[in-house]
């Protein structure tokens, strides 16, 4: 029952609340969150070691922008990508196919899909597609020496299991954050 339950309405309520913002406020918020996402994504190379623990959190700003609206999420995705090219060109391949893609995917899925399993499967397939594209089509060793760039169904299966667990974690974390965020908004009204 856990997998097939409908997630609470907090993401929809937040989306409706953020829709009431003036267009200029949405643009400023999108620009700020895009800059934050670019900095977080660049942390992996700027702060070796601990930065690799920080860089996955670049998903959150893209997710928040997508919650404002899908077009603002796409703008944030593109703007963050362009900022990463300027700040840390070595992250040029990683962001659009992994961290940014999952933020965009979860945001879209939260607004369109209702059941937890559909959201997780959708985002895990997006992440699998992004990693698979980098690994097997571009031959970019995104997973380092763990996986070769030659196609292997066993490795592909492990990548999907990782993608599913990673997406599940992000869906639960985002649901928790949006629930707290909405309670804070309701309290300050």
Tell me the backbone φ, ψ of residue 4, rounded to 5 degrees. Answer: -100, 5
- Whether residue 68 contacts residue 33, with contact meaning beta carbons closer than 8 Å, is answered with no
- Whether residue 123 contacts residue 170, with contact meaning beta carbons closer than 8 Å, is answered with yes
- Whether residue 38 contacts residue 87, with contact meaning beta carbons closer than 8 Å, is answered with yes
pLDDT score at 178: 87
- Residue 158 to residue 147: CA distance in whole angstroms: 10
pLDDT score at 168: 95
User: All domains of the chain, ordered by start, with CATH?
Assistant: 10-188 (1.10.1760.20)
In this structure, what token pair is assigned to residue 38? 């670019």
- Residue 131 to residue 150: CA distance in whole angstroms: 13
pTM for this entry = 0.90
- Residue 139 to residue 93: CA distance in whole angstroms: 11
Nearest to 107 by CA among 140, 157, 65: 65
Nearest to 63 by CA among 185, 142, 176, 165: 176
Encode 123-150: b = buried (16+ Cβ within 10 Å), e = exposed: bbebbbebbbbbbbeeebebbeeebeee
pLDDT at 44 over 90: no
Tell me the backbone φ, ψ of residue 150, rounded to 5 degrees. Answer: -90, 140
Please write the tens of the pLDDT for every residue from 5-41. Answer: 887 788 888 888 888 899 999 999 999 999 999 999 9
pLDDT score at 128: 94
Please write the tens of the pLDDT for every residue from 129-168. Answer: 999 898 888 888 777 777 666 777 888 899 999 999 999 9
**CA dist list (Å): 29 to 26, 33, 146:** 5, 6, 38
- Residues 91/94/95/96 CA torsion (nearest 10 deg): 130
């Amino acid at each position: 029952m856990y997998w097939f339950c409908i997630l609470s309405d907090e993401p929809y309520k937040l989306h409706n609340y953020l829709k009431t913002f003036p267009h200029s406020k949405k643009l400023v918020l999108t620009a700020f969150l895009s800059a934050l996402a670019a900095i977080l994504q660049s942390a992996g190379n700027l702060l070796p070691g601990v930065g690799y623990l920080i860089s996955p959190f670049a998903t959150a700003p893209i997710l928040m922008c997508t919650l404002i609206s899908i077009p603002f999420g796409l703008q944030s995705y593109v703007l963050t990508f362009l900022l990463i090219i300027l700040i840390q060109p070595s992250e040029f391949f990683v962001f659009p196919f992994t961290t940014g893609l999952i933020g965009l995917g979860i945001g879209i899925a939260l607004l369109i899909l209702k059941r937890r399993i559909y959201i997780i499967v959708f985002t895990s397939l997006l992440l699998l597609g992004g990693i698979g594209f980098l690994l097997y089509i571009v031959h970019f060793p995104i997973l380092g020496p763990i996986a070769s760039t030659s196609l292997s169904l066993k490795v592909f299966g492990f990548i999907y299991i990782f993608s599913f667990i990673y997406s599940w974690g992000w869906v639960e974390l985002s649901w928790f954050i949006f629930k707290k965020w909405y309670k804070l908004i309701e309290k300050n009204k």
